């Protein structure tokens, strides 16, 4: 027999759906206040991840890509909370993993820069990571085409980011990028 009393999860879902409806919009455009950004920044500090990595790309002239991402994690039963954050930030996608965790990821460079620009003033634990990612993205996005020496300099910043995150599994480093660029005679000694 079904109880008319809502479950704890049911109450949480109703609260998040109600909260999502309260986000102000002007002509369909989201207007977010300081309190909302500071709340999301706290969530990023606790259950989020900021990443900057080098990715091998055989279809790229320089052989590698610098990829930035912002990811939030939550148990799948609380997916609606991630959907609320997605509606506030206006970017990214949510996927459910097989281990019962949902992750909300933002990977498009301009959107990562936009999101971090809005959240960084309120981030506490990951402020250095935010600032470094924004610096790298601003340099990347301001150039139509990165010269090999400039790309290598940014790749070294990615290494620095790995040190900030105490990364142990980072497999591609700037020295590999440099070796590749030299082997293709893209770097002038």
**Which residue among the candidates 10, 33, 46, 90 is catalytic per the annotation?**
46
How do strand 64-75 and strand 48-56 relate by DSSP bridges? antiparallel
In the chain the domains, ranked by start, together with CATH numbers, are 8-183 (3.10.28.10)
pLDDT at 46: 92
Give the strands of the sheet with 64-75, arranged side by side.
48-56, 64-75, 101-106, 93-96
pLDDT at 144: 85
Lowest mean pLDDT among 35-44, 50-59, 82-91, 167-176: 167-176
Does residue 33 have an active-site annotation?
no
Does residue 159 have an active-site annotation?
no
- DSSP state string for 84-112: HHHHHHT--EEEE-TTSEEEEEE--HHHH
Q: Is the predicted pLDDT of residue 158 greater than 90, yes or no?
A: yes
Q: Is the predicted pLDDT of residue 25 greater than 70, yes or no?
A: no
- pLDDT band for position 141 (cuts 50, 70, 90): very high
- pLDDT band for position 26 (cuts 50, 70, 90): very low
**Which residue among the candidates 47, 63, 92, 99 is catalytic per the annotation?**
47
Rounded alpha-carbon distances, angstroms, from residue 149 to 92, 140, 146, 178, 186: 31, 13, 8, 9, 9
| pLDDT, the chain, mean | 86
């Amino acid at each position: 027999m079904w109880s008319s009393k809502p479950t704890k999860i049911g109450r949480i879902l109703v609260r998040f759906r109600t909260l999502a409806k309260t986000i102000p919009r002007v002509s369909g455009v989201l207007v977010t206040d300081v309190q909302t950004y500071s709340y999301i920044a706290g969530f990023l500090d606790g259950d989020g991840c900021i990443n900057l990595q080098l990715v091998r790309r055989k279809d790229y002239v320089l052989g590698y890509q610098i990829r930035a991402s912002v990811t939030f994690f939550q148990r799948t039963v609380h997916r609606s909370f991630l959907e609320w954050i997605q509606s506030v930030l206006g970017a990214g996608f949510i996927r459910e993993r097989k281990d019962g965790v949902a992750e909300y990821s933002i990977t498009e460079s301009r959107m990562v820069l936009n999101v971090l620009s809005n959240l960084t003033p309120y981030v506490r634990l990951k402020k250095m990571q935010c600032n470094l990612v924004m610096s790298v993205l601003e340099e990347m996005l301001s150039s139509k085409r990165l010269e090999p020496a400039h790309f290598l300099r940014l790749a070294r910043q990615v290494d620095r980011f790995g040190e900030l995150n105490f990364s142990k599994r980072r497999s591609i480093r700037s020295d590999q990028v440099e070796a590749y660029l030299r082997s293709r005679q893209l770097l002038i000694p």
